[in-house]
Amino acid sequence: MAPNSNNESKSSLLTELEENVKTDTFESPHPDPKEEEEEDTKEDETLKLSLRQMYIDTLQLDWSKVLWDMVFSLVVFHVIAFYGLYLCFTFQFKWQSGVFTFFYAYAGGLGITMGTHRLWTHRAFAAHWAVRVCLMCMNCIAFQESIYLWSQNHRVHHKWSDTDRDFTNSRRGFFFAHMGWKMYQTHPEVIKGRKMVDCSDLLGDPVVKFQHDYYYYVALPICFVIPTLLPMYFWNETFIVAFTLCTCARLAITFHSTWCINSVAHLYGYKPYDKSLYAFENKILGPFALGEGWHNYHHAFPRDYRASEIDGWGQNVTTKIIEFLNRFNLTTDLKTVSDEHIDRRTERTGDVELRERAKSDVY
């Protein structure tokens, strides 16, 4: 059902590109689509990246800049998470733990997609204070830094996507874009970019400021303590299952669903809206990442609350939840891009036929 017309801001955002891809002295990797007729060939080459190439990219890292303490932490964490998955696939858990883990992971994912990403980073809609508090707590479930830091990095990512100022620069290889950036010293250009983006609006939100000031006091209990103790207390789950499956395996799944957007969605798929962007539509990631996999659209029109032309609970659940809450005025000022603007942008920088085929090809 369509959102309330009284609350929905159907602004055309005709200045979308000017607002989000401003000219800067820092070199952009994105070629002018009018001058790059061979873009299709370039896209085909991108799609043929192999595991061997990923291995080569990893070897070419400057190992003197590796953060070995973070490497150790992530290795230990993933060993514990894999053991939790082993207990899951061998059915060594109570059914209540399985249900709890699924919904807790889902809540953490929505905390990122609906809250940190669409609400706070892009200001694609507004939300009632109660919704913001819930989304803040759900962000803590995902344990991906405070809303302020996550949003700051993501604004830099959009302004200088896939350059050295992008902390998940996909041009540095699949592994780096996926999770290598967490184990590597931050590039000086990323630090410079953080100082150049305006994030004053974020700390103007008392919910964001509170979480940022007391992040670990809030996030550690919500992410680790509650999902470990709650199954043990309410249905007598063992500590091993509660910690390895309900906490660590659940968190690992949330991590990788987010990281896949940084890696897979910047390397694999198709580009109907703007061929010059290093961001792809990926219909596998669409449902897996709760509607964030339609990445070419999102980078072309970052302030659209839908993040895609693809609709439906299965393909874009984040959008449907925003629209559902809009019926009760819990979300308002839903920003969209007009069909006319999408048409013009696609004709100028994308592929009209591919856009129509992609929309009808979604399962």
Strands 126-127 and 331-332: antiparallel
Residue 125 amino acid letter: F
* Interatomic CA distance for residues 247 and 224, integer angstroms: 6
Q: Two tokens at 146?
A: 């405070």
CA distances from 322 to 3, 263, 282, 312, 319 (A): 9, 26, 22, 12, 5
Q: Read off the DSSP letter of residue 270.
A: B
pTM: 0.84
What is the predicted pLDDT for the residue at 314? 84
Token look-up 């906490």 returns 247
Beta bridge pairs of residue 331: 127
Beta bridge pairs of residue 270: 281
Does residue 115 contact residue 147 with C-beta atoms inside 8 Å? Answer: yes
| pLDDT by 10s per residue, the chain, length 363 | 444 544 444 444 434 433 443 333 343 344 443 333 333 333 333 444 456 666 776 677 778 899 999 999 999 999 999 999 999 999 999 999 999 999 999 999 999 999 999 999 999 999 999 999 999 999 999 999 999 999 999 999 999 999 999 999 999 889 999 999 999 999 999 999 999 999 999 999 999 999 999 999 999 999 999 999 999 999 999 999 999 999 999 999 999 999 999 999 999 999 999 999 999 998 888 888 999 999 999 999 999 999 999 888 888 999 999 999 999 999 999 999 999 999 999 999 999 988 987 776 554
